[in-house]
Copies of this chain bind each other. A is one copy, B any other.
Amino acid sequence: MGKGKWVTMKDVADLANVGTITVSRVLRTPEKVSEPKRQRVQNAIAELGYVPDNTAGALSSSKSRIFGAIVSTISDSVFASTLDGLSSTLRAAGYELLLTSTGYDSDVEEDALRALLARRPDGIVLTSTSHSAGVTKLIKSLSIPAVEIWQLPSAPLDIAVGFSNFQAAYDMARHLIDSGRKNIAFVGGDGPRDARGRRRREGYLAALNAAGMPPITWSNKEQGAVSGIETGAAFFESCLNINPHTDAVMCVSDMVAVGVLCEARRRNVEVPGDLAVAGFGGFEVSMPSGLDLTTIEVPGKDIGVASAKALLDPEAARAKKVIDLGYKLVQRGTT
């Protein structure tokens, strides 16, 4: 049709022989327009292939119907399910999600936030919980809801949705201690940029400390990869050097645990007889068959859905301030 030009509301109005405002009403509050005109307008819309311009709408109504999200990486599959939940819930309510990734670089966060704010979003989602002074100031000065997700911060900027990594790891360590394990190791979670992993490690340390057990921690920092399957496999290389009596290993993620399990099978280390293995959750929602891994199930998608609800109804969410969705320790065959 139009080359380089968009059809405008005026075009529709002219064709239907009504005022532009009537077209606007047909789209937003159709019950306020009489039947015959509504029909004419709708026909005109279809005939011209009219697509409303939300940019203009946002300007005049000062409601953009966009929410912004800042994530460290999209590739991190843990976030992915959250983003899916967020995006689909918002879309169902007629909102769009503007996504920006920082690549774990906190200097970028402020830039990303500014870029986001330039679109005048109706609310924002942050996936990190420690912010620079600039970011904090910027957010505090806004009148739109800000939701921090995943790791629950001690002092939320506005609204927080997530669960406690610390507590979950603590519980998992207790589970291993209670089932009689004496030498419990922890693998991963030491990356300087991986705040969630670090909290898990801290939960583990706290539990062992409370039980009077010496911790056994390990990572392959030098290799750069701290969360892949290979980390779990490589763990065996040095594990026995540190403590040859290790009889349980908590992993910072399910992926790492899968690596440990594969390697254990290859070396004929019996699981859970010789070695208990625990993961940390939700990289694949269900893994009932095959691996039978004990893990912490994390409400990734629920976090997305709950954040969306918080953005859509900030008053209700602010009443709670912190929305803790919990986690589930799922015991299976590996412990």
Contact = CB atoms under 8 A, between A and B. Distances in A.
Given A84-B74, A291-B230, A54 B118 contact: yes
A333 interface: no
Contacts of A266: 265
Contacts of A246: none
B75 A87 contact: no
Contacts of A101: 84, 87-88, 91
Contact of A77 (B80, B83, B119): B80
Contacts of A56: 59
B77 A73 contact: no
A51 interface: yes
A237 to B, nearest CB: 9
Interface stretch (A197-205, A206-214, A282-290): A282-290
A295 interface: no
A215 interface: no
Nearest to A56: B59
A332 interface: no
Nearest to A301: B75
Interface residues of A, number: 70
Contacts of A258: 229, 258, 262
Contacts of A288: 230
A322 to B, nearest CB: 24
Given A1-B141, A291-B233, A87 B74 contact: yes
Leading 10 A-B pairs by shortest Cβ distance: A233-B290, A4-B143, A75-B80, A54-B118, A230-B289, A265-B265, A230-B290, A77-B77, A74-B83, A51-B117
Interface of A: 1-6, 49, 51-56, 58-59, 64, 66, 73-77, 80-81, 83-84, 87-88, 91, 96-101, 103, 112, 114-120, 137-138, 141, 143, 225, 228-230, 232-234, 255, 258-259, 261-263, 265-266, 284, 286-291
6 contacts: A53-B59, A54-B118, A74-B84, A76-B80, A230-B290, A234-B290
